[in-house]
Chain A
């Protein structure tokens, strides 16, 4: 199963995602509370997949995706945000995110997105 990095400034969301993903057999290798921390942890931990919030202090999730994709073009990142505006989803995808989960989410939506992205060779 996959090594996953969770990025969200809300402790409650990291906790919920951890429970869902560990239940599905994945390992949470690290957590970050903002985009800069996400980039630093990504370089250190080299996760198979990153779940990334957008609205965070200092460096936001869109900027973090750009930083990570520049460092590792093959990085697999799924956005997980309350901000579901079409233009923002398109921007995230354009920056290299593979999927976009809008909060509040259903557990099965998270599992489906993670399995799809981990299974893809893109």
Chain B
């Protein structure tokens, strides 16, 4: 997997979270995993298709997710808190993925992203078929964020090139 993919997600993650909440995340370490076993109890998964294809998993503690959403919204209705935190952290991850695809964009080509899926709890393992996973661990004052990337270049880009020229 190209290092530019990794850099795009780290840059997008830091920028989007800082713009929304004022919180700073910093890259701490990078490592390879055979499988992306999320380290924390909230995970958000999104798929990417186009000239790059694969999956991205964001993993963080429930308390970190809650703090991010509360800081973003500034005020939160207690009756809708749980729903808004789930929706909010999914949307934050969607914005990070979206910003990453903008950083990776190429002329006449489109990267598409699937709607994010959120999983809570720590008793699961996600298996990406035939794709090694690079994990970026990031740290902040409100806790860690882990971004697992299983991405590769794809031959789908020609199809999308035609589509984008319709």
Contacts and interface: CB of A to CB of B under 8 A. Distances in A.
Interface of A: 9-13, 15-16, 55-57, 81-88, 90-91, 94, 102-104
A41 to B, nearest CB: 19
Given A9-B115, A104-B20, A83 B101 contact: yes
A88 B110 contact: yes
Chain A interface helix/strand/loop/mixed:
mixed
15 contacts: A10-B87, A11-B83, A12-B69, A12-B87, A13-B91, A55-B94, A57-B115, A82-B91, A82-B94, A82-B97, A84-B98, A85-B105, A103-B95, A104-B16, A104-B95
Given A12-B84, A55-B113, A91 B164 contact: yes
Nearest to B88: A12
Nearest to B104: A85
Contacts of B112: 55, 83
A11 B87 contact: yes
Contacts of A81: 98
A16 B107 CA distance: 33
Contacts of B101: 83, 85
Contacts of B84: 11-12, 15
A82 B15 CA distance: 13
Interface of B: 16, 19-20, 69, 73, 83-84, 87-88, 90-91, 94-95, 97-99, 101-102, 105, 107-115, 164, 166
Contact of B98 (A57, A83, A87, A94): A83
Of listed A13, A94, A104, residue having the most chain B CB within 10 A:
A104
Contacts of B97: 82
Nearest to B16: A104
Contacts of A87: 105, 107-110, 164
Of listed A55, A56, A82, A83, residue having the most chain B CB within 10 A:
A82
Given A13-B91, A55-B94, A85-B102, 10 more contacts: A10-B87, A55-B98, A55-B112, A82-B95, A84-B98, A85-B110, A87-B109, A88-B110, A104-B20, A104-B95
Nearest to B93: A82
Of listed A12, A56, A91, residue having the most chain B CB within 10 A:
A12
Contacts of A11: 83-84, 87
